[in-house]
Amino acid sequence: MWVDFHVHTRWSHDSMSSPRSIVRAAMKRGLSAIAITDHNEIEGAYEVLEEARRLSEEFYVIIGEEIKTVKGDLTGLYLTEKIPKGLSVEETIDLIREQGGIIVVPHPFDRRWRGALRDYTFKIADKVDFIEVVNGRTPRWNNEKAKQFAKTWGIPGIGGSDAHSSAEVGKVRTLVSELRNGKIVPVKIEEKAWPPILFGIVYSFLSKVKRL
């Protein structure tokens, strides 16, 4: 099945996407599952889960959260409760583990944003489950560095669109042979050229302005 492991809803400060628009876009583009990873929040994920159940018995939604730590962002998948922002990376990892969750380092080497863990990723390489090796909003050379890091450390890679709009859902998708019961087995990643990175940047900027 094809999965987009990095999708935001209107519960993120830089997105205005509704649960229905996200699920419909995902189904239209051939996805069987998505991970909702709002910034420091999981309510949007539960809203998407509820909407998905109304539209399809087969579509699968992973409850996740992109958590802001003192060093940068860390993603937890298969969560049941929100994890607070502003903790150390190690504390955040422990809280994800306590929920039986999976730990992903998103856009680790994207130097444009303060959310990237960058060099701190090396310090926690033995504590994480996956590296996001293809991020739909990250320049190719930064994704290539993430791929090389994952290969060097023997950490599986997954991809995610980092979709903040329904137009971006499915831009990056990961084929998995297993997904249920908190287990992810990635096979390959595909990335589309459209929409371009600039589209996402402008969309998120306008979303933040609209909330002012």
**pLDDT at residue 99 in the model:** 97
Please write down the HEC assignment for all residues of 22-35. Answer: HHHHHHHCCCCEEE
**pLDDT at residue 181 in the model:** 75
C-beta atoms surrounding 156 within 10 Å:
14
**pLDDT at residue 111 in the model:** 79
Sheet containing 157-160: which strands, arranged edge to edge? 157-160, 130-135, 102-105, 73-77, 60-68, 33-39, 2-7, 172-178, 185-191
**pLDDT at residue 11 in the model:** 97
Amino acid at 145: K
**pLDDT at residue 164 in the model:** 97
Separation CA 97–CA 151 (nearest Å): 24
- Cβ contact 31:6 at 8 Å: no
Q: Which residues pair with 190 in a beta bridge?
A: 173
**Mean per-residue pLDDT pooled into runs of 10, the chain (212 residues):** 98 96 97 98 98 93 98 97 98 98 97 86 98 96 97 98 98 94 93 93 88 70
